[in-house]
Structure formats: C-alpha cells, structure tokens
Amino acid sequence: MSTVPTQSPQTYPIDRIRADFPALQQQIRGKPLVYLDNAASAQKPNQVIDTLADFYRHDFSNIHRSVHTLGERATAKYEAARDTVRRFLNARQTEEIVFVRGTTEAINLVAQSFGGSQFKEGDEILISAMEHHSNIVPWQMVCQQTGARLRVVPINDHGELILEEYQRLLGSRTRLVSITHMSNALGTLNPVKEIIDLAHTREIPVLLDGAQAVPHLPVDVQALDCDFYAFSGHKLYGPTGIGVLYGKRELLEAMPPWQGGGEMIRTVTFEKTEYNELPYKFEAGTPAIAEAVGLGAAIDYVEAIGWDHIAAHEHALIEYATEMVHTIPGLGIIGTAAEKGAILSFALDRVHPHDIGTFLDHYGIAVRAGHHCAMPVMDFFKVPATARASFGIYNTLEEVDQLIHAIKEIIKVFG
C-alpha cells in the first residue's frame, strides 16, 4: 500500500497529494483534467483505492455472524473503521456512530425514526432556506405523516442565515432544528455553535448536515454539542455508498429501529422481536463493509495532511478565485457570505450555466452547472441555475488561472 503523505511544517505537499490521485493524471478532450466538482463528489487517492482492493482480495467476508477467520478479520476492520469515525468526530462512544449509505439516508433515518415517533400535529421542524433537497424532503415526508409543520429560517442577500429570524422562529412548538453546516450551493458556513446553543436553551435537539463541511474542517461533536451529525464518505475522498449518522446515545437509545432485518435484532420469534443494541439496531442487513473500511482509510489520509494545512490551502484557493472572478465583467457570485468554504457559485450575464459547463469541459475543467439540488436557493437569488467551481485538497492556483482564462474565452465567444 502506498504511504500517506506526511506533513511538512512550511509547505503544502501539493505534488505528492496530486500524485496520490490517479484520476487526476488524465487528459479530458486533450487537456489535463482540472477537477472542480468536489462539492458533488471528490476523487479518490490510491490509499483508499488500495484499501478497498486489498480488503476484497484478502479480508472480505460478511461480518458479525461468522466464526471463521475471515469473518473475524472483516468484522475487526469494519469496527476499526467505526472507531476511526468516532475519533474523527470526537464522539464519546463508538455506539454513537451508525453506518448508513450517506448523508441523505442519515437524515431520512432521523426523520422517520426520531420524527416519526415524536412529532405530533402542530409540532414544528426548523430548517433554513439554504438547505439541500435532502434536508428538506425527508422532513416534508414526516410532516405529511405526522401533521407537523416545516418552518424555514430565511437567508440574506449574501446567502447568510438571518440569526434574529432563527431566534424568532425557535418556539415552544419546535421539536427539531436541522441545518446545514456548510451550504453546497453557496459555500456559506453557518454559525452552528450559536445555532445549537440557542436551540438548547429551549431543549430542542439539533441535526447538522455535514456533507459539505466534513471535507474542509475538523468537526468535534462534543464541542459543538450537536445532537445528530450526518455526512457522506464520497465527498471526503472515500467510497460511495457509505456515510455516517452520529447521534447522542440517549437519543439513539430512545429511537425505534428504522428498517427491520438481519443484524438489527437480538432474538426473533413469530410473536416478538427483541432489538439489538446500538449501533446495530440501525444497521439492518449486510452493510457496505469494504466501503466502511475505505472510509476509514480516507479519514486517515486527510488527517495525515492535517486540518491546518488543508484549511490554509483551500482558503488560499477560494480567496484567489474570488479575487480573480471580480475582474470579469458580467460575472456575478451567488453566495458571498463572510464565513465561506471553498465553493464558488457564479452566473454570467449572457451565458447560461449549462453552456458554461459544456464549454469548460472542452478546456478539461469539470464544474457543476445546475440547481445543485437546492431549487429554493436558486429561486431566492432569482437564477435558474448557477455554475459552481468547488475546490479540494488537490487543486492548485494554476487551475484557478485556467478556470478564469476559460471563462473569459466563453464570454468572448458568446459576445
């Protein structure tokens, strides 16, 4: 297996990081790939790819039920990955780490299990106007089932949550707050500590959608004191099909199982089933075993680079990109929050985002063009769609230059 890059105190090891990602070594339409679609999903380093391949070659078996050697080996690796996630989030106990398919499934789990068993007619769930569809629709579904009501905290023209409005909407009927840690469409970093503290003064639990935040900054669920935290492996340079729901033990204990099947039970008779303990109560069926192990490898990889290094590098990228696009007439940035991650959503006066996307692809540049699964955000900013360049650990300032050059060429062609 290849080695994880060791951090240098002075310089960011960009060449070594890039060399770890085989997908970055290719050409697209005759030009070197510039991958700026990291907010949708990130590329994978050899350390993750090799972990998956090695696991399938040598250690694979189903877990927990088998007494043979491979069963024990696979179980040990799967559970070791769970402990890696616990450490990564600084959760108190591994029992608080539930493996799911991704952020979407984690939110659906909380909506159905917590919401389905707790919400009543007239109860309110608070989300924000910058949420991804996966933090809107699961709540609408549980509202329909229970008679609860969805309330939406508005945002300002910079794409920042309006805290006063949030405070105003927090009320005696609020049963849960579910807010994104970092917006996928705007890049906004929410003041999550404040959001949580305010909710807790009324004893309202808070779920944070961490899909976008987790690849960019360290998360400490104890320091935040959040009640649920959800994220996906694939945006964190890990495999698809694996994600995490963190939940405070006492909340998870009180919640009914979400799906029934194998693994989540202790005893089954036709009369009665006794459920398994945490976290297995929420892991019915054979899970994504290799993917969980791969997620562990991805976490080891980013932690070895170091959060300080990653934050400084990505901050430099977004600062530079923002400064450069300001020199382009007719370009508007969608999402100009003071606290912002490495996401640059933009629109051009005379060129539709879809045309931008196709043109950039011909320059080897991968961006996302569309509504980014956040149609209410598009409606708020009165744009049908945006083009979005999102940065990761392997992007460079030269790639930003290439993006800027290509955007200027597009404007020239469309006139």
Instruction: Choose, by CB under 8 A, the member of 44, 181, 235, 371 that binds other proteins.
Output: 371
- Contact predicate 87/72, CB 8 Å: no
> C-beta of 335: minimal distance to other proteins in Å?
17
| Tokens 């430099």 found at | 316
Asked whether position 278 contacts other proteins by CB under 8 A, the answer is: no
Cα–Cα dist 351/60, whole Å: 50
Residue closer to other proteins (CB basis): 237 or 359: 359
- Contact predicate 180/208, CB 8 Å: yes
Buried b (16+ CB within 10 A) or exposed e, 328-338: eeebebbbbbe
Cα–Cα dist 107/177, whole Å: 12
Tokens of 159: 């794409």
Asked whether position 133 contacts other proteins by CB under 8 A, the answer is: no
Instruction: Choose, by CB under 8 A, the member of 9, 10, 27, 29 that binds other proteins.
Output: 29
Residue closer to other proteins (CB basis): 318 or 385: 385
What's the burial of 222, exposed, middle or buried (CB within 10 Å: 0-12/13-18/19+)? exposed
> C-beta of 409: minimal distance to other proteins in Å?
7
Asked whether position 414 contacts other proteins by CB under 8 A, the answer is: yes
Instruction: Choose, by CB under 8 A, the member of 254, 358, 398, 408 that binds other proteins.
Output: 358
Compute how many residues bind other proteins; rule: CB under 8 A.
20
> C-beta of 404: minimal distance to other proteins in Å?
17
Which residues, 6 or more positions from 382, have their beta carbon under 8 angstroms from its beta carbon? none
The 3 state secondary structure assigned to 181-234 is CECCCCCEECCHHHHHHHHHCCCCCEEEECCCCCCCCCCCHHHHCCCEEEEECH
> C-beta of 234: minimal distance to other proteins in Å?
20
Active site (annotated) includes residue 373? yes
Among the listed ranges 105-113, 123-131, 249-257, 350-358, the one in contact with other proteins (CB under 8 A) is 350-358
Instruction: Choose, by CB under 8 A, the member of 122, 171, 384, 405 that binds other proteins.
Output: 384
Given the rule CB under 8 A, which residues bind other proteins?
29, 351-355, 358-359, 362-363, 369-371, 378, 384-385, 409, 413-415
Active site residues: 373
